[in-house]
Amino acid sequence: MKMSEFSSLGLSDWLIKQCKQLGISKPTPVQENCMPAILQGRDCMGCAKTGSGKTAAFVLPVLQKLSEDPYGIFCLVLTPTRELAYQIAEQFRVLGKPLGLRDCIVVGGMDMVAQALELSNQPHVVVATPGRLADHIRGSKTFSLSRIQFLILDEADRLLEQGCTDFTKDLEVILGVLPAKRQTLLFSATLTDTLQELKNIAMNKPFFWESKSETRTVEELDQRYILTPEKVKDAYLVHLIQTFTDEHHDWSIIIFTNTCKNCQILTMMLREFNFPTISLHSMMKQKQRFANLAKFKASVYKILIATDVAARGLDIPTVQVVINHNTPGLPKTYIHRVGRTARAGRNGVSITLVTQYDIHLVHSIEEQIQTKLKEYPVVEKEVHKILTQVNVTRRECEIKLESTDFDEKKEINKRKQMILEGKASYFLAEYIHVSASISFILIKLTSYIQLFHKMAGFISIFSDFILSDKCFSYELQF
């Protein structure tokens, strides 16, 4: 299909020039189709594959409208993760530089007072995660969102999902202070199953555009699987990384796993094998999360192990491989995870480790994406050679992690979350905290008992020696 020019879509020359500086010369289909509707003042829902330029599809028209009538707060963008909020704000900042654009990022884990101050300075664009913005709205009268022109929900379906982080209550608070007269723009690679709820948010007969394609993942992505018993998974992982790093020097790899703890253990384990590995999960301090992501983006570390906190939106062009250490339970999650590679027309590979219990999950993924995953060829002999070493290393890392307060921190985080969500009374939360502490003490106690046991064994061997004939006769000589 012939691509049109940005100018024919109604975009101003200064913005076209800004795009050129970023190597963006022709609009992608989602930009070509959604931008004219947005510039005409319509609400818009855009559903296009991962890495297809959805961010610029809303950033560019907003900047054009802002340049015609600049005031703050003009636009509010909501997004599910903190890292994504920074990435979107960056796009606004770079493309909106000639405007002297002022943006404000409002996300959890960062200084709330500094954010409140920035909000009161009337930035043009606020990019926020729902929880923290709702907290500001509940607690402060120093800023107003009542005149915003644009509300944008990026990864809109995730914002409405009632997953492990439920945004619905926070969204209610936020929507309650927004003007009814506004343009609402909703974007995601997976909008369809939340279409009706989204239509209720975009009230003014939204323009709906969905990329027409048989498949829901990009053609440039080579999608593979490896069938493996649970116990051999880590050996496959180490083998895959060894092969990739031997063969390609400029490649980056993202490995997705199911829990924060597993993320931490795999990171420790791969470091034992001297792979330059860094992690990203929700139990890390926010500043550490940003620092790790920056190091990965700058290729200081070539391997990122992450939970699904990194599954959506992150745009890191050097990522050539995505490995799913666990098969995602939802096809949607699979689509976003593997979409971290093969972006903007580049090639990429995804490899999903599948155990015998996950085969039904693979079938539903294949059904959703309308593509069959192909088996990834591996020389099994090579994997078996390292199996024992990998499993022993993993066990050592597990023991090392158990001796830290990782599990206790998890309980405390859970407790904080329950208090914030009003699901636990203070006393119940205290009870959870106390039981977490007791279980931590018990774990410690068990390891001390084990240690004591070993020492007792050692002492008994030693005393056997003392009482042995050899030792006894030696003593008699004196």
Ligand X SMILES: Nc1ncnc2c1ncn2[C@@H]1O[C@H](COP(=O)(O)OP(=O)(O)OP(=O)(O)O)[C@@H](O)[C@H]1O
Contact region with ligand X (CB under 6 A), list: 23-31, 215-223, 244-252, 379-387: 23-31
For residue 268, which amino acid is it?
A: M
Counting contacts by CB under 6 A, is residue 185 touching ligand X?
no
Q: Decide: 321 and 251 in contact? Cβ < 8 Å.
A: yes
| Least CB distance to ligand X at residue 122 (A) | 27
List of residues 6+ apart from 446 with CB closer than 8 A? none
Residue 153 CA to residue 202 CA, distance in Å, equals 10
Nearest to 91 by CA among 170, 150, 15: 15
Counting contacts by CB under 6 A, is residue 344 touching ligand X?
yes
Of the two residues 115 and 223, which places its CB atom closer to ligand X in the complex?
Answer: 223
Nearest to 413 by CA among 402, 424, 398: 424
Residue 9 CA to residue 458 CA, distance in Å, equals 81
140 three-state secondary structure: coil
Q: By CB neighbour count within 10 A (0-12 exposed, 13-18 middle, 19+ buried), where does 419 fall?
A: middle
Applying CB under 6 A, which of residues 18, 339, 393, 397 lies at the interface with ligand X?
339
Counting contacts by CB under 6 A, is residue 50 touching ligand X?
yes
Q: Decide: 54 and 48 in contact? Cβ < 8 Å.
A: yes
Of the two residues 26 and 169, which places its CB atom closer to ligand X in the complex?
Answer: 26
Counting contacts by CB under 6 A, is residue 158 touching ligand X?
no
Of the two residues 118 and 154, which places its CB atom closer to ligand X in the complex?
Answer: 154
Applying CB under 6 A, which of residues 28, 33, 184, 324 lies at the interface with ligand X?
28
Count of residues of this chain found to bind ligand X when the rule CB under 6 A is applied? 20
Counting contacts by CB under 6 A, is residue 313 touching ligand X?
yes
Q: Decide: 74 and 92 in contact? Cβ < 8 Å.
A: no
Applying CB under 6 A, which of residues 35, 36, 43, 55 lies at the interface with ligand X?
55
Applying CB under 6 A, which of residues 45, 189, 303, 351 lies at the interface with ligand X?
189
Residue 87 CA to residue 153 CA, distance in Å, equals 14
| Least CB distance to ligand X at residue 262 (A) | 24
Contact region with ligand X (CB under 6 A), list: 267-275, 322-330, 338-346, 437-445: 338-346
Q: Decide: 413 and 283 in contact? Cβ < 8 Å.
A: yes
| Least CB distance to ligand X at residue 125 (A) | 16
Of the two residues 31 and 333, which places its CB atom closer to ligand X in the complex?
Answer: 31
Of the two residues 32 and 118, which places its CB atom closer to ligand X in the complex?
Answer: 32
Q: What is the per-residue binding string for ligand X in 263-302, x denoting contact by CB under 6 A? A: ----------------------------------------
| Least CB distance to ligand X at residue 22 (A) | 6
β-strand pairing of 183-188 with 221-227: unpaired
Applying CB under 6 A, which of residues 315, 321, 352, 397 lies at the interface with ligand X?
315
**253-110-185 Cα angle (round to 5):** 70
Counting contacts by CB under 6 A, is residue 130 touching ligand X?
no
Q: Over 399-440, what HEC string results? A: HHHHCCCHHHHHHHHHHHHHHHCCCCCHHHHHHHHHHHHHHH
Q: Which two tokens stand for residue 52?
A: 């297809």
Contact region with ligand X (CB under 6 A), list: 18-26, 257-265, 323-331, 439-447: 18-26
| Least CB distance to ligand X at residue 291 (A) | 21
Q: Which backbone phi and psi does 162 adopt, to 5 degrees? A: -100, 65
| Least CB distance to ligand X at residue 28 (A) | 5
Counting contacts by CB under 6 A, is residue 53 touching ligand X?
yes
| Beta-carbon count within 10 A of 338 CB | 29
Residues in 75-114 that interact with ligand X by CB under 6 A: none
Residue 46 CA to residue 225 CA, distance in Å, equals 30
Counting contacts by CB under 6 A, is residue 350 touching ligand X?
no
Residues that bind ligand X (CB under 6 A): 22, 24, 26-28, 31, 48, 50-56, 189, 313, 315, 339, 343-344
